[in-house]
Every structure is written in C-alpha cells, then in structure tokens.
A = this chain, B = another copy of it.
Amino acid sequence: MTEGRALKHVQVREYVRSLVSGAAPGSPAPSERELVQRFGVARMTVRQAMDALVVEGLLERIPGRGTFVARPRRVASRLTSYTEEMQRRGLLAESQTLLARREQAGPGVARALNLTEGDAVIHWRRLRRADGIPMCIEDAYLNEILIPGFLQAGMPTSLYEALDARGLRPTWAEDSITADVATEEEAGLLETETGAAVLRHSRRAVAEEKVVEVSRSVYRADRFTMWVQLGEEG
C-alpha cells in the first residue's frame, strides 16, 4: 500500500506494527487469515511477517486463541554513556578536559585494547560534573587507528556520540566495579575528603567486534549509585 517496491512480508509486518504500536498488552492483533484476505497474500507470507514481530517481542502467539500484543519484556541494561546516564537521572552532564593527547600504550592499556605495547593511543582525562558538582574522574584510552584525526577534530561533548558518528557506537562492554577510598589527588578534584568512599568503574567497550574504548573512572560514592538490570524475562 504505502510502498509499491516493498516486499510483501515487510508490508504486512509494518502494517501490523503500526496497528499495535501503542496498543495495550493483551490487545488482539489481526488474525493471520484476516491479513491473508486484506493483502491478498499466502498465509506463509503473513506468518513470516508475524514471526519477525514475535521474535522482536512485540507480539505473542497463543495457539487456538490468536495473536496478541505482548507484555513488554524486562531486558538487560543497554550500554549507556555518562552523558546519557546523567540525562536519564535528570542531571546536567558537563565535562572538563584535564588532558587529551596521543600516548604510547602501556602494557595494561595495550592488552585491553588488543594492541601492542607502544602503539599509539589517545588518552583523554576528564572531570565530569552533574548539575555542576563533581561526579567522577574518567581516564579513557582510545584506539587511534580506529578514529584517525580524533584529537584534531576538537574534543566532542559525548564520546559515544562521536564514536557513533564514525559507525563505532559501542554495543557491548565488559565492566568491573569495585569500592575504594579516594586518594588525595582524587579527593582534590572531586571536592571531597581523602579517604571518602569512591566507586571505581572500569570499562572495555566493543563496537563492530573491535575494542574501541578502555576507561577507568572514579565516582564519588555519596553522589553515585550504579543501576544494572540483568537477565531477560519473557
């Protein structure tokens, strides 16, 4: 209807999607035979369309009864950047670059980035604030080969948005989280006391099968609680 060129199963799929988007969970979707009539296609074609929506988690089939809008599934946390995370909390995210330069990768960073020691990496150290108050210090190390001209382009507000623009938005990450107390230097930057509780967060972020970012952050524990959703429920 809308697209003469579109594949039939795509047409049916998008028609059903538009029908049920916004509908309450449990609402009935059109029956398969009804869609066969409406689009004048074979039932297998309709099933192909519906299968996609079922896999997506939008629809749920109940044999003998029909097809219905599925209850939204609880899913694992999406990978978010600091900027997005603060926005979600209703806080204004700001960053102050303390350091941004080309360095030779040390042994730890090289291993984490799948590079050889001495390879060029970009080291970017920022003091990050939320609503104007220090929240964390982040040291990010980036694989320079993947993002040529990054330093010259001027530092972006959001690292993940900048990576996204290069088609390297991280989609998977391995994080480690531990508790510690602030060193004197950290306490100074974070405007807190030496010995105050801090959360240390390390991340190894992957995009397109390549490790693009390795970072170490230290958060003021009095300002930051990490939230994680794990697993998946039908």
Contacts and interface: CB of A to CB of B under 8 A. Distances in A.
Contacts of A177: 177, 199, 225-228
A92 interface: no
A232 B224 CA distance: 25
A76 B179 contact: no
Interface stretch (A11-19, A59-67, A113-121, A165-173): A165-173
Given A171-B232, A233-B206, A176 B227 contact: yes
A198 B172 contact: no
Interface in A133-184: 170-181
- Tally of this chain's copies: 2
B179 A77 contact: no
A44 interface: yes
A178 B206 contact: no
A79 interface: yes
Contacts of A206: 74, 233
A230 interface: yes
A176 B230 contact: no
Interface residues of A, number: 40
Nearest to A181: B197
Interface of A: 44, 51, 55, 71, 74, 76-79, 170-181, 195, 197-200, 206, 209, 219, 221, 224-233
25 contacts: A44-B44, A55-B55, A74-B172, A76-B232, A79-B230, A171-B232, A172-B233, A174-B228, A175-B227, A175-B228, A175-B229, A176-B226, A176-B227, A177-B228, A178-B199, A178-B224, A179-B179, A179-B197, A179-B200, A179-B219, A179-B221, A180-B221, A181-B197, A195-B195, A206-B233
Contact of A230 (B175, B209, B219): B175
Given A76-B76, A76-B77, 14 more contacts: A71-B209, A76-B230, A78-B231, A172-B233, A175-B229, A176-B226, A178-B221, A179-B179, A179-B180, A179-B198, A179-B200, A181-B181, A181-B197, A228-B228
